Amino acid sequence: MKQGLSLRVSQHLALTPQLQQSIRLLQLSTLELSQEVEQMLDENPFLERTVEEAPREEFGLEAADTPVRDDDRLAESDSDFASGSSSSSDTATATTDTETAVAEGFDGEPDWEGDGTVDLAPDDSEWGSDAPARTNNLGDDERADATELARSQESLQSYLHRQALALRLSETDSAALRFLIESLNDDGYLEDSLPALASGLAGDDNDQFDDLVHHFQVALGLLQSLEPAGVGARNLGECLTIQLRALAHEDETEEEEEIRKTAIAICKQPMELLAKRDFKRLATLTRSNEDEVRAALQLIAKLEPKPGRRFVDVERNVVIPDVIVTRVGNGGNAKFRVMLNPEVMPRLRVHDIYAGALKQHKGEGSQALSQRLQEARWFIKNIQQRFDTILRVSNAIVERQKNFFVHGELAMRPLVLREIADELGLHESTISRVTTAKYMATPYGTVELKYFFGSALGTETGGNASSTAVRALIKQFVTAEDQKKPLSDSQISEMLKEQGIECARRTVAKYREALRIAPANLRKAL
């Protein structure tokens, strides 16, 4: 083999740090973007937040300015006993079939002028400041912050600690009760066993372990006597049993007492039988007749399978829309205005004093500072590019799905990412990043941008129907069904065929599960 030199010309795409940052910012959600902005403000001295319109830099273009949520105004949770305590688990427990069987925009428009587009700053060789400033004229006193209202809700632990103050307990028992309260999950259940909790504190000391288990048993009885009923249970059966025992009262008739006792006996059986509503098996195991079992199940259906549900920190469930769609005009001339939500857009600018000082004084270390200044300007430009892309995609979606904004989800048309990508001249992966974890406020509620995309199902006329519209139709059928004779998946499939939509039984089952609709046997009324 002979060695030699050769020259070859080729092209390849180089992802510069600026482009990588632009792609990363595009796929971030509103909350993640807020965290990214806070981190950049801490790390880069040339970047600052502004509330008023940003002044011009002496040497560059206009200072970039985009609005941001003011986190400093958020009120902290009020808890008199939160010192040294651990927070509840952030992982939401999925709703099980058993629990399903047990328990069956905007007032004003933001001050936004123009045609609804974001003007990007022109390119400049000296990296001058960025884009025109935008201000939000909505006063802080005129509208309450949703996150602040969410945080003002009392937690389950605080509520239980407040009740524990009324109990006259020794210091040891009081400490054991506080420990169990802080060990509850978001649903109000005690996931760890008492020996497991005791072993974590006692270590290898057997005498201390036995003493802790004893105190925890006493504290558990006290905890389960507090409100809401069912708190402190180790499993669903125990939770329902505690609630049933709490229903006992002096004026209770013999028939009501018998039904309640039957319900308690049912809760001691495997929960699978309760979920399947196996009346005959339950009647045999509880030594009751089927009528008593049906009455007991009706009583159980009124109970709360998750006692801590109403105390869950609703801040995690607050969805702030990135785009707002408002209706302009009525009737056939109705149009829809698409605008960015100024509340989620961070107000940032380059620190003009630092930037001016750096330009006038070139010395040792100026190269590193110049790099930080360029990073600040690139960060502002990339944020503006992010919101400009979101607005462009949102306008294209609204134009394609205009029938949805007029008639609702039943009028949704099939749409795939490729259609929007081809229309805007963007890559399909870019559209996917834009529509993930971004939300739009519509006349029919706040939905994720991905909600407007759905596959197509064939119709008898040769056209296509959106899978989103088909799911809405299935939901409509189930809502209007006879609860004593619920519709099966096969019957729903036949009803869709009558509407001209070809949808197999398996497809109906998949859509029904996506809508979190129980099967026909679980929807049947007792």
Query: Which tens digits make up the pLDDT trace of 127-160?
Result: 333 333 333 444 444 444 555 545 556 788 888 9
Q: What pLDDT, on a 0 to 100 scale, did the predictor assign at position 73? A: 36
CA quadruple 410, 412, 416, 418: dihedral, nearest 10: 180
373 pLDDT more than 90: no
Mean pLDDT confidence for 296-310: 88
**CB-based contacts of 42, cutoff 8 Å, min separation 6:** none
Q: What pLDDT, on a 0 to 100 scale, did the predictor assign at position 201? A: 82
Angle, alpha carbons 366-20-358 (nearest 5°): 15
Mean pLDDT confidence for 348-376: 80
Q: What pLDDT, on a 0 to 100 scale, did the predictor assign at position 98? A: 41
Mean pLDDT confidence for 472-493: 89
Q: How far is CA 136 from CA 21, 52, 237, in A?
A: 27, 9, 52
Percent of the chain at pLDDT exceeding 70: 77
Residues found in the chain: 526
- The better pLDDT of the pair 357, 222 is held by 222
State the amino acid at position 238 in one-letter form.
Answer: E
- The better pLDDT of the pair 448, 466 is held by 448
Structure tokens that stand for 467 in this block: 């899978």
Mean pLDDT of the chain: 77
Mean pLDDT confidence for 396-423: 90
**CB-based contacts of 34, cutoff 8 Å, min separation 6:** 68, 69, 71, 344, 346
| HSE (side-chain half, CA atoms, 13 Å) at 63 | 25
- The better pLDDT of the pair 45, 204 is held by 45
Structure tokens that stand for 273 in this block: 């039988």
209 pLDDT more than 70: yes
Closest to 483 (Cα-Cα) out of 303, 298, 279, 283 = 298
Indicate the DSSP class of residue 69: -
Structure tokens that stand for 370 in this block: 């110049």
Closest to 186 (Cα-Cα) out of 316, 9, 97, 72 = 316
**465: which strand partners?**
457
Q: What pLDDT, on a 0 to 100 scale, did the predictor assign at position 369? A: 82
pLDDT digits (tens, 9 = 90+) for 261-285: 999 998 888 888 888 777 888 888 8
Q: What pLDDT, on a 0 to 100 scale, did the predictor assign at position 525? A: 64
Mean pLDDT confidence for 85-101: 39
Q: What pLDDT, on a 0 to 100 scale, did the predictor assign at position 132? A: 37
Q: What pLDDT, on a 0 to 100 scale, did the predictor assign at position 127? A: 37
**CA max distance for the chain:** 104
Indicate the DSSP class of residue 459: B
386 pLDDT more than 90: yes
H/E stretch holding 324: strand 323-328
Q: What pLDDT, on a 0 to 100 scale, did the predictor assign at position 2? A: 78
Q: What pLDDT, on a 0 to 100 scale, did the predictor assign at position 74? A: 34
68 pLDDT more than 50: no
Banded model confidence at residue 316, pLDDT cuts 50, 70, 90? low
385 pLDDT more than 90: yes
361 pLDDT more than 50: yes
> Helix, strand or coil for residue 337?
strand
Ranking 38-42, 92-96, 154-158, 255-259 by mean pLDDT, the lowest is: 92-96
Q: What pLDDT, on a 0 to 100 scale, did the predictor assign at position 439? A: 94
Banded model confidence at residue 395, pLDDT cuts 50, 70, 90? very high
495 pLDDT more than 70: yes
Q: What pLDDT, on a 0 to 100 scale, did the predictor assign at position 99? A: 41
The CB density around residue 80, as the number of other CB atoms within 10 Å, is 9
Determine if the pTM surpasses 0.85.
Answer: no
**Gap between the terminal Cα atoms of the chain:** 85
Q: Does residue 62 contact residue 55 with C-beta atoms inside 8 Å?
A: no
Considering just the CA atoms, what is the radius of gyration of the chain in Å? 30
Residue at token pair 């790390």:
43
- The better pLDDT of the pair 337, 483 is held by 337
Q: What pLDDT, on a 0 to 100 scale, did the predictor assign at position 338? A: 93
The CB density around residue 5, as the number of other CB atoms within 10 Å, is 4
